[in-house]
């Protein structure tokens, strides 16, 4: 199965050259201002992509999916939308969750500790491919400033991964962390399409499982 991974497109999806594959995964921050109109355009774009399956989760910029979930989710006719939910595709189990630790009160934010840990506890033990918007602590999660680099991923998510036997974990959120890292049997993919300047220059990451 060929997985094509993108994230953090911020409504610039039409500027991306997306290679063909079996499953197109979008790991959140699909919208710019977070409006229903932007989401409708994204869904139309999904309909133009050749992948047999398309999976979308929300991110901290995707306000309409948090604030107007019934109306927004009804617009998604051309992608499988996962919000603390899963789906099996061709023998592989996918689980998607949008939450990130609180940062300036964006959408789908939860405080570190029990609030966000409770979401990660819902991830089934037989999950093969986990899709979250943000990274676990210490993995492709560094924010770089002029003076230092800081790890900002979720410690609670990192702890929960210890009980899982994932083949792959796809996320975005931290634009500077774009890339891949293998730890044990799991491939971690930061698929952020936008770079730190919010330009959609990072290429999709393609993985064959």
What was the pLDDT predicted at 104? 82
Partners of 149 in the β-ladder? 144
Instruction: Give me 33's structure tokens.
Output: 């201002």
**Stretch (H or E) spanning 42:** helix 36-48
CATH code for position 27: 3.60.21.10
Q: Cα separation of 196 and 175, whole Å?
A: 5
pLDDT (0 to 100) of residue 149 = 82
Residue span of the structural domain in which 107 resides: 2-208
- Structure-token match 């939860």, residue found: 110
CB-count burial class (<10 Å; 0-12, 13-18, 19+) for 146: exposed
Q: Among candidates 4, 69, 5, which has minimal Cα distance to 34? A: 69
- Going residue by residue through the chain (209 aa), what tens digit of pLDDT does each one get? 999 999 999 999 999 999 999 999 999 999 999 999 999 999 999 999 999 999 999 999 999 999 999 999 999 999 999 999 999 999 999 999 999 999 888 999 999 999 999 999 999 999 999 999 999 999 999 998 777 788 899 999 999 999 999 999 999 999 999 999 999 999 999 999 999 999 999 999 999 99
Spell out the residues 6+ positions from residue 184 whose beta carbon is closer than 8 angstroms to its own.
none
Structurally, the chain folds into a number of domains equal to: 1
What share of residues in the chain are helix, strand, coil (percent, to 5)?
20, 30, 50
């Amino acid at each position: 199965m060929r997985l094509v991974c993108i994230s953090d497109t911020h409504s610039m999806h039409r500027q991306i050259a997306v290679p063909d594959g079996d499953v197109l995964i979008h790991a959140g921050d699909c919208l710019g201002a977070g409006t229903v109109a932007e989401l409708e355009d994204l869904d139309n774009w999904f309909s133009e992509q050749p992948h047999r399956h398309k999976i979308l989760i929300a991110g901290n910029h995707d306000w309409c999916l948090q604030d107007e979930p019934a109306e927004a989710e009804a617009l998604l006719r051309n992608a499988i939308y996962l919000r603390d939910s899963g789906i099996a595709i061709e023998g592989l189990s996918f689980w998607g969750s949008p939450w990130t630790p609180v940062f300036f009160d964006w959408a789908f934010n939860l405080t570190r500790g029990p609030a966000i840990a409770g979401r990660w506890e819902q991830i089934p033990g037989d999950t093969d491919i986990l899709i979250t918007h943000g990274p676990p602590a210490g993995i492709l999660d560094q924010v770089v400033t002029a003076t230092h680099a800081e790890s900002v991923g979720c410690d609670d998510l990192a702890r929960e991964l210890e009980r899982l036997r994932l083949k792959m974990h796809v996320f975005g959120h931290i634009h500077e962390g774009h890339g891949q890292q293998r730890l044990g049997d799991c491939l971690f993919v930061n698929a952020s399409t936008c770079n730190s300047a919010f330009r959609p220059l990072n290429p999709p990451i393609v993985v064959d499982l």
